[in-house]
Copies of this chain bind each other. A is one copy, B any other.
Amino acid sequence: MLINCAAYQNGSKLGDIPVADISEYLTRPECFVWVALFEPTVDEIDEMAKEFGLHPLAVEDARKGHQRPKIEEYDDSLFVVLHTLEPASDAMDSALIDGEVDIFVGRNYILSVRHRTQKGFGDVRARCEREPALLRYGSGFVLYALMDTVVDRYFPILDTMESDLEQIEEYIFVRNTARSNIESLYALKQKLMLLKHAIDPLMEATGKLYGGRVPQVCAGMGDYFRDVYDHLHRIHATIEGIRDMLTTAIQVNLGMISLSESEVTKKLAAWAAIIAVPTMLAGIYGMNFKHMPELDWTFGYPLAIATMVAVDVYLYVRFKKTRWL
């Protein structure tokens, strides 16, 4: 589905143009074309490939989708694959939807193709059009703006994960929460890996857009792409931190489970003793020997009961002291 197709010159919009005219605008100097597609049909992609003269391998990737994040250079054009993560709209479910944005960038064109994402880039286009001074940089600046937006949208996801971790950490030393803690920790790890797979390859690739030899398209925008890289690196470091804490938290949780079992065993042992001792005494006075003088005492019975109570009180106090109870 075609979302947008517009031509820009010297940082300002010339207007929306029909797809068929794209190749014409591409020949004009200082002019570039910006097209946005959403879940396009095979025909739409093929048409774009023809208009812009895209590389067949990149087109095949865009057609198949499900690429890992990457930035590939084909002659003087770039093929960029970004992953988007969006919380499922259903508020009940905390799952993340793993979308994809494929971007083709050449000297005088930029084509973005969105898959499985709800949020578009209308705001990016609007922001770019409000800043003609920067938009004059051409397609390279638009690429920066798109990447910056996608990366910035990772931060709330990451913040949610950090606060999820903090929430679990609060419960980790609370008794009887082991099962739910361990489920939460595992679910968090799953989400974290999703984010990690979106971030890591992209960070690696973005590192080549500034510094030494950079693709022609990004020339002169090194500070901007370094800023994107910096954000990615920050997310990466935070992910690694969370991963490390998750591993520790799972280990600690295991410790808490063992500890709680240990406490149950102690309690079990203590109560078993408290019940077993009177049972043994009762058993003794239940024996049928002819000559058992205590049985004939007037206060034999109360004395026996008193002994039982005394022993149990003693045991109870002692177990309390050693914290078995």
Contact = CB atoms under 8 A, between A and B. Distances in A.
Interface string A269-305: 1011101111110111111111110111111110011
A214 interface: no
Interface stretch (A1-9, A24-32, A113-121, A253-261): A253-261
A68 interface: yes
B286 A288 contact: yes
A136 interface: no
Nearest to A300: B289
A248 interface: yes
Given A68-B234, A190-B245, A268-B272, A291 B298 contact: yes
A179 interface: yes
B280 A278 contact: yes
A92 interface: no
A320 B266 CA distance: 19
A319 to B, nearest CB: 12
A266 B264 CA distance: 7
Max chain B C-beta neighbours (<10 A), residue from A176, A196, A245, A295: A295
A197 interface: yes
A74 interface: yes
Given A226-B72, A255-B178, A264-B265, A289 B295 contact: yes
A307 B190 CA distance: 53
Contact of A272 (B233, B272, B290, B323): B272
Contact of A223 (B55, B172, B234, B251): B55
Contacts of A262: 178, 257, 260-261, 264
- The 5 A-B pairs with the shortest beta carbon distances in the complex, nearest first, are A282-B283, A268-B269, A285-B287, A261-B262, A289-B301
14 contacts: A67-B234, A68-B233, A173-B186, A186-B252, A193-B244, A247-B248, A264-B265, A268-B269, A272-B272, A272-B276, A278-B284, A279-B283, A289-B301, A290-B297
